[in-house]
Structure 1
Amino acid sequence: MKDNAAPHSPVIIVGGGQAGFSVAKCLSETGISSVIFERHGKFHSWRKNRWDSFCLVTPNWQCRLPGFHYDKEYGGSDPDGFMLKDEITNYLDAFAETFAPDLREHVEVRRVTPRPEGGFRVETSIGEWTCDQVVIATGGYDTPIEPGYAKALDPAILQMHSVDYRNVDQFPEGGVLIVGTGQSGVQLMEDFTRAGRDVHLAVGPAPRSPRRYRGRDATDWLYDAGHYAITIDTHPDPVKAITQTNHYMSGRDGGKEIDLRRWHLDHGVELYGSLADMSGTRAAFLPDLGKNLDDADRSYVGIRTQIDAHIARAGIDAPEEAPFTKVWAPETERTELDLAEAGITSVLWAIGFRPDYRWIEADVFDARGKPRFHRGVTDQPGLHFIGLGWLNTWGSGRFLGIEEDSRYLANRIAAQIAAGAISG
């Protein structure tokens, strides 16, 4: 029985990004209507939460929204290139125009609660709604991570998280300490280096990847080898897959790999180990720079080895490349730095985000607050997630896997509705 005082939708989708729109598109193809609630505007994170020079790290051909692939339905002319921020939003806007979703922008969802009689009560900034099923498509980037000791840093030193970064002009003159070497950290390093700034980089444990190898982009080889088809259920080390930081490389200037050793030699980037503490103008680092560089290179060489094995198995005629060699290694580990003495006037945090699902009242979260599901389907009937990393495959949190995940989830929702699993 539905609450007559509240508007009702068979499915409510929370989040108006590519994941939310993709599920809405697939649901529409099964004849199921839905409402998308987006607290900002559609595709907000792409428009507003990326820096000016942002570009994709994976090639454009991997942009495969449901029925709207970059190099087919969209008619993109550079499948092996890497779209810039405005090009990405143009692609997304064009996808949104292929169907007519019921999108409610600037609506905040404040609480989702299962109803005793079935379905859910959804409290929003425009009032209460009810629905039979809910799809959470908000992603995992709710709360920017900054360590507690950041508060002990001298207030004269500017601090900013990568979510607020747009360009170097936001920063005062002087050097910058960038903390984190995932995909964001190394690309921001390049932004500051191009601007002629002194860059200091706290190197974490993120792995790195080749860009081009043996005549092709490394991601092309890995796709052909079936690497991206591996599911979390069949992965040899699922815990590592889920918890590992993304491999760093760049799509800038047509694509390049990032070897931090070379950036130290060629561009003067000062490298340190993982940041451990701050107080006043002083920063303390762990003595793990050499280990972190070696681990990143081990990942890099491992990917090359996978590609070599695929080439050999398939009997492909591909050009040979010289073995990897280190161009530099730290002689000592610097564990302390006075930022003021080093001319550092700002700190840029690039150490990621935490999800925040406290507004969902359902017993589907682990001790760390992360949702438990299988391919996005939780144990709470009618509650689903989409757009998260390793929902099923490596591509689940990216453009590559969203079509497969959305179609699977839409079919599951359709089956539940047809079976009367949820009574609205």
Structure 2
Amino acid sequence: MTHRDHKSVVIVGGGQAGLSVSYYLCKEGLDHVVLERHKKFHSWRNNRWDTFCLVTPNWQCRLPDFPYQGSDPHGFMVKDEITDYLDAFAESFAPPVVENCTVTKISKRPGGGYLIDSSQGNYSSDQVVIATGGYDNPIVPPYADKLDPSITQMHSVEYRRPEQMPEGATLVVGTGQSGVQLMEDLHLAGRDVHLAVGPAPRAPRMYRGRDSTDWLYEMGHYAITIDQHPNPEHAVTKTNHYMTGRDGGHEIDLRKFAREGVSLYGSVSGMDGKTIQFLPDLEANLDDADESYVGIRDAIDAHIKDNNIDAPHEPAFEKVWRPEQEITAIDCEKEGITSVLWAIGFRPDYSWIEVDVFDARGRPVYERGVCQEDGFYFVGLGWLNTWGSGRFLGINEDSRHLADQISAKAKSALQVAS
């Protein structure tokens, strides 16, 4: 029989979500272990580009009993400052983390609880928390294999700086938060940049004297739970609004970048040799992003009016550029494109979890992180409860809720046993 160390709780994932749950379990005195595949906060430290910074203001960093206490609450921490903040949080309570430990299988234990197999020994536990996030497998479409091998392909998780890209132009694919920031990173470095524009929405940065996220927080937008959301399926699956915290923070209007020389196309639809095809949806995607942008401004305007707030006025939004035609195919050689940078997201990998906690599409099923399988939980995912659930803003509330559930179950089991 395989020897197993028993812990009341096993947490898989040593990022901010897993360690936030660990923080509260430590306060409760509940024995547990955190199993981390790499080092603590690996993704923040190793999977970000050099100029990476927060998109939301520093004041939203609210880890358990460890809020941001720096001198720039309305600024945006850069990568090293983020990891310093996270390391300081971990040092504040010394979580029981086993690093470089890959969990290879989780299954139900006969009679109750769970069996956890890992690269550094095996465990049994009464309860399990999955805190691995949703960034396991970088998404690259199958037709990428048809692109001529002379053209370098890279995913955003590998990108660090413009000098990594070969001489010549780069096509950035995707306009979520990462895509637009990588486009800007290359553009500011003087590189020739092409951008495939997807359907991601955009948001204002500063509006009527304040950061738009400050207004939205004041308006209660971030307190809306997934159960209260008018369209929960859309909320869970839609791409985040794009803007940036770079150089003090600013909004990103792709039309302005087009005027500065960035070549814009619609969504990529295929590749063949040195030819790349696009859908004729560039103008529609730009218009949809602007509609989201204006909608946020309008909501802030209404809030200001309804509450008689004294705030400076802003000029009406104007579209400064529009495509003269929809380009549906380009020749990379003719355009001088020598590289493609994929920024279309990630998929989680739950293949190692042999517990019935997923729907037909492989997505975890839970209510505020609590699964129907007794003692099984998820944390750190977007819209676990609110918009902030997958971010620094909401992780304290979510981790405390799960820790309360875990602690109550552990105490109940002790009472039954006695």
If the TM-score is normalised by the length of the shorter chain, which range does it land in? Answer: over 0.9
The alpha-carbon distance between structure 1 residues 422 and 169, as it changes in their structure 2 partners (threshold 3 A), is farther
Following superposition of structure 1 onto structure 2, how do residues 229-240 of structure 1 map, counting pairs within 5 Å? 229-240=223-234
Note the alpha carbon deviations across 1:73-105, whole angstroms, 9 max, x for none: xx2111000000000000000000110211100
Identity, % of aligned pairs?
65
- Cα deviation, residue 165, structure 1: 0.5
Aligned counterpart, 1:127: 121
Aligned counterpart, 2:27: 29
Aligned counterpart, 2:75: 81
Q: Which runs of 5+ in 1 are unaligned?
A: none
Aligned to 1:341, which of 334, 339, 346?
334
Aligned to 1:65, which of 63, 66, 87?
63
Give the ranges of 4+ consecutive aligned residues of structure 1 lying more than 6 Å apart after TM superposition.
421-424
Following superposition of structure 1 onto structure 2, how do residues 176-255 of structure 1 map, counting pairs within 5 Å? 176-255=170-249
SS of the residue aligned with 2:393? coil
Asked if structure 2 preserves the Cα contact closer than 8 Å seen for 1:381 and 1:422, the reply is no
AA in 1 matched with 2:76: F
Aligned counterpart, 1:99: 93
SS of the residue aligned with 2:407? helix
The alpha-carbon distance between structure 1 residues 92 and 286, as it changes in their structure 2 partners (threshold 3 A), is same
- Cα deviation, residue 367, structure 1: 1.9
The alpha-carbon distance between structure 1 residues 423 and 189, as it changes in their structure 2 partners (threshold 3 A), is farther
Q: Which runs of 5+ in 2 are unaligned?
A: none
- Cα deviation, residue 420, structure 1: 2.1
Aligned counterpart, 1:375: 368
Note the alpha carbon deviations across 1:99-138, whole angstroms, 9 max, x for none: 0211100010000001121110000001211011100000
| Aligned counterparts of 2:352 and 2:416: Cα–Cα separation in 1 | 23
- Cα deviation, residue 344, structure 1: 0.3
Aligned counterpart, 1:20: 18
AA in 1 matched with 2:80: D
Structure 1 length-normalised TM? 0.97
The alpha-carbon distance between structure 1 residues 263 and 4, as it changes in their structure 2 partners (threshold 3 A), is closer
Asked if structure 2 preserves the Cα contact closer than 8 Å seen for 1:24 and 1:101, the reply is yes
Aligned counterpart, 2:135: 141
SS of the residue aligned with 1:400? helix
Asked if structure 2 preserves the Cα contact closer than 8 Å seen for 1:114 and 1:120, the reply is yes
Asked if structure 2 preserves the Cα contact closer than 8 Å seen for 1:381 and 1:421, the reply is no
Asked if structure 2 preserves the Cα contact closer than 8 Å seen for 1:208 and 1:296, the reply is yes
Instruction: Figure out how many residues of one structure are paired with residues of the other and give that number.
Output: 417
Aligned to 2:282, which of 272, 289, 292?
289
Note the alpha carbon deviations across 1:145-178, whole angstroms, 9 max, x for none: 0000000000000000000011111111000000
- Cα deviation, residue 351, structure 1: 0.1
AA in 2 matched with 1:168: P
- Cα deviation, residue 5, structure 1: 2.8
Aligned to 1:275, which of 268, 275, 278?
268
Note the alpha carbon deviations across 1:385-423, whole angstroms, 9 max, x for none: 000000000000000000000000000111111222999
| Aligned counterparts of 2:285 and 2:416: Cα–Cα separation in 1 | 53
SS of the residue aligned with 2:39? coil
SS of the residue aligned with 2:213? helix
Asked if structure 2 preserves the Cα contact closer than 8 Å seen for 1:134 and 1:384, the reply is yes
AA in 2 matched with 1:19: A
Asked if structure 2 preserves the Cα contact closer than 8 Å seen for 1:64 and 1:399, the reply is yes
The alpha-carbon distance between structure 1 residues 4 and 148, as it changes in their structure 2 partners (threshold 3 A), is closer
| Aligned counterparts of 1:420 and 1:271: Cα–Cα separation in 2 | 60
Aligned counterpart, 1:404: 397
| Aligned counterparts of 2:292 and 2:147: Cα–Cα separation in 1 | 34
SS of the residue aligned with 1:151? helix
SS of the residue aligned with 2:17? helix
- Cα deviation, residue 4, structure 1: 8.8
The alpha-carbon distance between structure 1 residues 421 and 239, as it changes in their structure 2 partners (threshold 3 A), is farther
| Aligned counterparts of 2:415 and 2:277: Cα–Cα separation in 1 | 54
Note the alpha carbon deviations across 1:208-244, whole angstroms, 9 max, x for none: 0000000000000000000000000001111111111
Asked if structure 2 preserves the Cα contact closer than 8 Å seen for 1:10 and 1:133, the reply is yes
| Aligned counterparts of 2:94 and 2:213: Cα–Cα separation in 1 | 33
Name the Cα RMSD after superposition. Answer: 1.3
